[in-house]
Amino acid sequence: MDPILFFIFAAVAVICAISLIVQKHPIKSALSLIGVMGSLAILYLLLGAEFIAAAQLIVYAGAIMVLFVFVIMLLNAGEEKSPARPSWFAKLLGIPLMIALLGILSYVIQRAAPEGSLAFGEYTGGAREVGRALFTTYLLPFEITSVLILIAILGAVVLAKKEL
């Protein structure tokens, strides 16, 4: 069952990713991106990483995509007017470069993959482990992050308030 689900959602992710680039209207692109994020979350879930799957949905599909859609609506961006034609030069240079990049990436990833195969659901890091790590090993960076957020709020107030 797991491999079948994997192929379904991997295919959905790739199709949505292509649609993201091909779509002319920014809102349609944004919706395709949500599709990519959602199917990635399911792939994580298949690997047994519930926490990452939930974080993927909440942070990317939730918070970040809302921001994207907000900005698109604020700018009132309409359908993209396509330029006359992509230049021959771009095609000539871009396609081989893209193939080369994909080749290098797949070579590196292949080499880096550990020996033996990974089973679905083998990964056991859940919310409990993440929480424990945050309050023990990563206590210090976790606490500094709170100061970081404070500065971000302070910066927003300083830069945006009319009268200080």
Partner 1 sequence: MSQFYTQTDHFVLLPGLLLTLFGCATLLFDFWLVPEARYKKLLVGWLIAAEAFTGASLYRHTTYLADNGLTELVAFRGSLVMDGFSIFFNWVFLATAVIVALISYRYLEIEGEHHGEYYGLILLAQSGMFFLAAGTDLVTIFVGLELMAISFYVMVGFLRADRRSNEAAMKYLLLGAFSSGFLVYGFSVMYGMSGSTRLSDIAASFAARDPWDPIAFLALATTVVGLLFKISAVPFHMWAPDAYEGAPTTVTAFLSVGSKAASFAFLMRIFLGPLAASREVWEPILIGVAILSMTVGNLAAISQTNVKRLLAYSSISHAGYILLGLIAGNDTGLKGVAIYVLVYTFMNLGAFLVIVALRRENIIGEDVEDLAGLMHRGPGYAILMLIFMLSLAGIPPTAGFIGKYYIFLSLMQTGHYLVAVAAALYVAVAIYYYFRIVRSMFVSDVSEPTPLAASLGMRVAVAVSAGLTLAIGLYPEPFLQMAQTSLIR
Count H helices and E strands in the chain, helices first.
7, 0
Rounded least distance, CB 79 to partner 1, Å? 27
Residue nearer to partner 1 on the CB measure, 107 or 120: 107
Q: What DSSP element (H or E) covers 74?
A: helix 65-75
Q: Does 137 bind partner 1 (CB under 8 A)?
A: yes
Contact 7/39 with Cβ under 8 angstroms? no
Q: Does 150 bind partner 1 (CB under 8 A)?
A: yes
Rounded least distance, CB 5 to partner 1, Å? 26
Q: Does 144 bind partner 1 (CB under 8 A)?
A: yes
Q: Is the dihedral of CA 138, 121, 35, 11 positive or negative?
A: positive
d(CA 46, CA 49) in angstroms, rounded, equals 7
Q: Does 145 bind partner 1 (CB under 8 A)?
A: yes
Four-point Cα dihedral 137, 124, 64, 58, nearest 10: -110
How many other C-beta atoms are found inside a 10 Å radius of the C-beta of residue 5? 14
Question: Which of 34-42, 70-78, 83-91, 143-151 is the region at the interface with partner 1 (rule: CB under 8 A)?
Answer: 143-151
Question: Which of 30-38, 65-73, 122-130, 154-162 is the region at the interface with partner 1 (rule: CB under 8 A)?
Answer: 154-162
Residue of 82, 84, 85, 111 interacting with partner 1 (CB under 8 A): 111
At position 40, the amino acid (one-letter code) is L
Residue nearer to partner 1 on the CB measure, 63 or 159: 159
Q: What residue ranges bind partner 1 (CB under 8 A)? A: 107-108, 111-112, 135-141, 144-145, 147-148, 150-152, 154-155, 157-159, 164
